[in-house]
Amino acid sequence: MGELAKPTSGPDDASLDAWRAYALVYLAEAIRESAPNALGSATIFPHSPLEGEGAVVVFEFEAERSSLDAKRFFVVVGKTEANYYPGYDLTSDEAFSLHLGTRFMLVMGIGQAPPEQLATFDAAVAAKAVVNRISPELTVVDARVAAAFDVDGELHAIVSCRIGGRDVYVMAGDAPPGIHERVALPPQVVYRMHVGQVLRNEPDPDGPRRDTSYP
């Protein structure tokens, strides 16, 4: 990638400057004239739950892109495939979960569910099944499928609905269950963040790891 080789160590405290330089080269190739000249704060995540991947660093940056309303972005580099994401109102920790969920979908070849897979899916019933695990007394109204994915034959549905007077996304169907209030975000973004967080919550055989932030 470009003229700068990928650092061979880290990301860690000692190699942070090298990874910062590498991220700038990646962005110069990825978004060309919109690429920033400098990166903002950095957060190192020394462990990945994805097989074959490892430590990454998440940098914030600002850029003007005509195809996107966002001006704030994140770029993720390290022992992974580099990628950048609109910042929305995410924290660096949420951006890491988004990256993990994105990588998982790419590696698994997850795509949109075809119409026939949704033919018999009842969004209200599926959302209520998730809600019943937490607060059975709550009702689900205005349920609709906001997005749906085929995961090796299983249906992962993101249901938009109202629960107890609040607008939410419910991860339903065969998806790991969850309820999210970040309805200002696109449903596919919330789904990828959800998947990433589920992966991070799995037991780590090496014990807890420390995440490090830098201004």
pLDDT tens-digit series, residues 51-71: 999 999 999 999 886 555 668
Instruction: For residue 100, tell me if it sits in a domain.
Output: yes
Residue 169 β-bridge partners:
160, 180
Choose the final residue of a domain: 53, 86, 107. 107
Give the closest residue to 76 by CA, choosing from 31, 32, 20, 35.
20
The mean of the pLDDT values for the chain is 91
Indicate whether 119 pLDDT > 70: yes
Count of the separate structural domains present in the chain: 2
Q: What Å distances lie between residue 179 and 28, 84, 136, 149, 200, CA to CA?
A: 37, 26, 14, 17, 17
Domain housing 185: 111-200
Q: In terms of C-beta density within 10 A (0-12 exposed, 13-18 middle, 19 or more buried), how is residue 70 classed?
A: middle
Among 107, 134, 153, the domain boundary falls at 107
Q: What is the pLDDT of residue 213?
A: 45
Burial class of residue 159 in the structure, from the number of CB atoms within 10 Å of its CB (0-12 exposed, 13-18 middle, 19+ buried): buried
Pairing mode, strands 166-173 and 154-163: antiparallel
Backbone angles phi, psi at 119, to 5 degrees: -55, -40
Same domain, 64 and 140: no
pLDDT at 4: 74
pLDDT band at 209 (very low <50, low <70, confident <90, very high): very low
Per-residue pLDDT tens over the stretch 124-181: 999 999 999 989 999 999 999 999 999 999 999 999 999 999 999 999 999 999 999 9
Whether the pLDDT of residue 188 is over 70: the answer is yes
Residue 68's pLDDT is 58
Looking at 107, 138, 172, the residue that finishes a domain is 107
In a domain, 206, yes or no: no
- Of the two residues 42 and 204, the one the predictor is more confident about is 42
